[in-house]
Amino acid sequence: MSKPDANKRLRVFFALVPDAATQESLGIIARGIASRAGGRAIVDANLHLTLAFIGDVDNERIEVLRTIVGTLPRRAFALGLDTIGTFRHSDLTWIAPSNVPSELTRLQSALADALTSAHFTLETRPFHAHITLARRCTRKIAGAHAEGQTWRVERLALLASIGRESGVAYRELAGLRLA
């Protein structure tokens, strides 16, 4: 876990992060979907399920976010990813569960409550559990069924989005192992 640079704003979000084997498996799906949708696949290491996007945060507020991580439910759960689709008015293609487990709903709700209590502004759109597989898609893929991909969710992280010449990379600022 690295500390942010002094006097710097970071673009941050909370996410569920798959283990390397699950990222690799999802990466194979992402490359196939990107090819079908005429888009660009997300690199394996960047595949995640966003729980809450915070945006640009001053350095001194990062510590508040790190503290929130420690207050969240710590229960691991299985997440079946079986539906592929796109959002209306979007060039993203995603994979999502057709049935959202109650553990995920409770975790996301607890995080939203903690962030609101700490005076962070959240998106007003309802939470839609999904993993973005491809961007800049020129063809829509709606309601496609994916072969059953089950992910044992065991890790939550506070991530910073770092822009690089080669694309975006994520740096973990705090993490929580779910058991």
CATH number for the domain harbouring residue 64: 3.90.1140.10
Residue 162 lies in a domain: yes
Q: State the pLDDT confidence band at 147, using cuts at 50, 70 and 90.
A: confident
Residue 1 lies in a domain: no
Report the half-sphere exposure of 131 (CA within 13 A, side-chain side).
36
Q: Which domain holds residue 141?
A: 19-177
Q: Does the pTM exceed 0.75?
A: yes
Distance of CA 146 to the CA centre of its chain: 19
| Amino acid 140: pLDDT | 83
Residue 3 lies in a domain: no
Residue 8 lies in a domain: no
Q: State the pLDDT confidence band at 7, using cuts at 50, 70 and 90.
A: low
Task: Decide the pairing of beta strands 155-164 and 9-16.
Answer: antiparallel
Tokens of 106: 């409770």
Report the half-sphere exposure of 44 (CA within 13 A, side-chain side).
11
Residue 142 lies in a domain: yes
Give the chain's domain count: 1
| Amino acid 143: pLDDT | 65
Tokens of 19: 């283990």
pLDDT tens, residue by residue, 58-114: 998 999 999 999 999 999 999 999 999 887 778 899 999 999 999 999 999 999 999
Residue 135 lies in a domain: yes
- Using alpha carbons only, what angle is made at residue 160 by residues 156 and 165, rounded to the nearest 5 degrees? 130
How far apart are the C-alpha atoms of 143 and 102, rounded to whole Å? Answer: 22
